[in-house]
Amino acid sequence: MLAMRLSLVAGPLRLLDGDFPHRTLMQGIAEHNAKEALALLISQHRIGIIGAAFAALARRPSAAAMRAASRSSFRDGGPRYGHHMTTASLDKGVGTLLRGWRERRRLSQLELALRADSSARHISFIETGRSRPSEPMILRLAEHLEIPVRDRNALLLAAGYAPHYSETSLEDPAMGALREGIERLLRGYEPYPAIVVDGCYNVVAANQGILMLLEGVPEDLLTPPLNAMRLTLHPQGMASKIRNLAEWRGHLLSQMERQIGHLRSDALRALYEEVAAYPVAAPVTADQASRAAGNGVGQPQDEGSTHPYFALPLQVEHDGRVLSFVSSISTFNTPMDVTVSELAIETFLPADAETVAYLGRRSR
């Protein structure tokens, strides 16, 4: 059984791909109703069905289709974390690459040697090219330097060895148990939102709770490739409905900055620069959040009666109510496959009783 590491944080939206055609789904796409198609896609709870369906939508000869066609398909396109993770050129040599990772982690040669049960002299010889490290040594150094799985393969290739970690498509039959497990997790978490993303925040799978949060998002933002950061921070996306936008936006950008500092990803940096440059939408007003006055659900609280949140909440206006969530992010512990190492599952837990009650009634 795959172990999963959970950390309670206020995290961003983030998630697989595959190809599971469905008659009703394709009818929705044939009518070229993007929102209907999205609803049908998520209702299937099938990993990757989003990619296949929106690729089909992109093939229709309409304005929306031309926009989609001008971009790569959801399944193959966009700045996928997995496809662009390693940016260092292999001709630099394994020593140069290892020195770059060591300096990025702010370790001396002696500190790394002590952790890896080696000597500072041997580390120096490897970095200068005077010694060719063995495959086990490369993997041991990579482990202590916390180098991502994809980049560990790049180190091995630079040293003349074969990649150690496989990269299996999520459509592969061997991934069946993983796909089914994630589907059950997403379905079982309803009516609360849950989403799966890859390392560049491209949406891989989601449930009905996420669909609820996307209500009102313009269709042109729902064309492939779907990216959770864009959907969240674009002024025409969820940003216009987030009550605590300044805090939530700052949290998401800070998280991306930490990832960029830890990883070598030009694609992630480009995404950060894009979303950080979005104009900040005006926050939802109290009047907008109180359109359903009198129902007592999810309305703004007086300053003296705010909920004692235990983590930064996402406070989003929905149907005249303010719903509050805190998020928990899960990744796979000690992944042995590149694809799996770049997945993250984010679940949104209701942060107050009003949100629990509203979602419970909505799901009946």
Cα–Cα distance measured from residue 135 to residue 284, given in angstroms and rounded to the nearest whole number: 55
Q: Residue 140 has which token pair?
A: 């041991």
* pLDDT for the residue numbered 39: 55
HEC per residue, 150-201: HHHHHHHHHCCCCCCCECCCCCCHHHHHHHHHHHHHHHHHCCCCEEEECCCC
Give the single-character DSSP code of 281. Answer: P
Listed in sequence order, the residues at least 6 apart from 181 whose beta carbon sits closer than 8 Å to its beta carbon are 2
Query: Can you list the alpha helix ranges (DSSP code H) found in the chain?
Result: 23-30, 34-43, 49-58, 63-69, 81-84, 94-104, 109-115, 120-128, 135-144, 149-158, 176-189, 208-213, 228-233, 245-262, 266-276, 286-289, 338-341, 353-363
Beta carbons within 10 angstroms of residue 224's beta carbon: 25
Burial track 199-211 (b if 16+ CB lie within 10 A, e otherwise): bbbbbbbbbbbbb
Cα–Cα distance measured from residue 357 to residue 364, given in angstroms and rounded to the nearest whole number: 11
Listed in sequence order, the residues at least 6 apart from 30 whose beta carbon sits closer than 8 Å to its beta carbon are none
Q: How far is CA 357 from CA 18, 297, 329, 361, in A?
A: 35, 8, 24, 6
* pLDDT for the residue numbered 363: 81
Beta carbons within 10 angstroms of residue 24's beta carbon: 9
Listed in sequence order, the residues at least 6 apart from 119 whose beta carbon sits closer than 8 Å to its beta carbon are 113
The DSSP-derived string for 230-277 is HHHHSTTTGGGGBTTHHHHHHHHHHHHHHHHHHS--HHHHHHHHHHHT
Q: What is the pTM of this model?
A: 0.69
Q: Structurally, what CATH architecture does the domain formed by 190-298+311-363 represent? A: 2-Layer Sandwich (3.30)
The radius of gyration computed from the CA coordinates of the chain, to the nearest angstrom, equals: 22
Q: What is the pLDDT along the chain (364 residues), one digit of tens a residue?
A: 444 433 333 333 333 333 333 444 444 444 445 555 555 555 544 444 444 444 433 333 333 433 333 333 333 333 334 444 444 444 579 999 999 999 999 999 999 999 999 999 999 999 999 999 999 999 999 999 999 999 999 999 999 999 999 999 888 999 999 999 999 999 999 999 999 999 899 999 999 999 999 998 998 888 888 999 999 999 999 999 999 999 999 999 999 999 888 877 889 999 999 999 999 865 545 454 444 333 434 444 444 445 667 889 999 999 889 999 999 999 998 889 998 999 999 999 999 999 999 999 988 7
* pLDDT for the residue numbered 55: 41
Homologous superfamily of domain range 84-158: lambda repressor-like DNA-binding domains (1.10.260.40)
* pLDDT for the residue numbered 315: 95
Q: Residue 17 has which token pair?
A: 């791909």
Beta carbons within 10 angstroms of residue 308's beta carbon: 6
Cα–Cα distance measured from residue 350 to residue 356, given in angstroms and rounded to the nearest whole number: 6
Match 């994630």 to its residue by tokens: 182
- Give me the residue spans of the domains in the chain: 84-158, 190-298+311-363
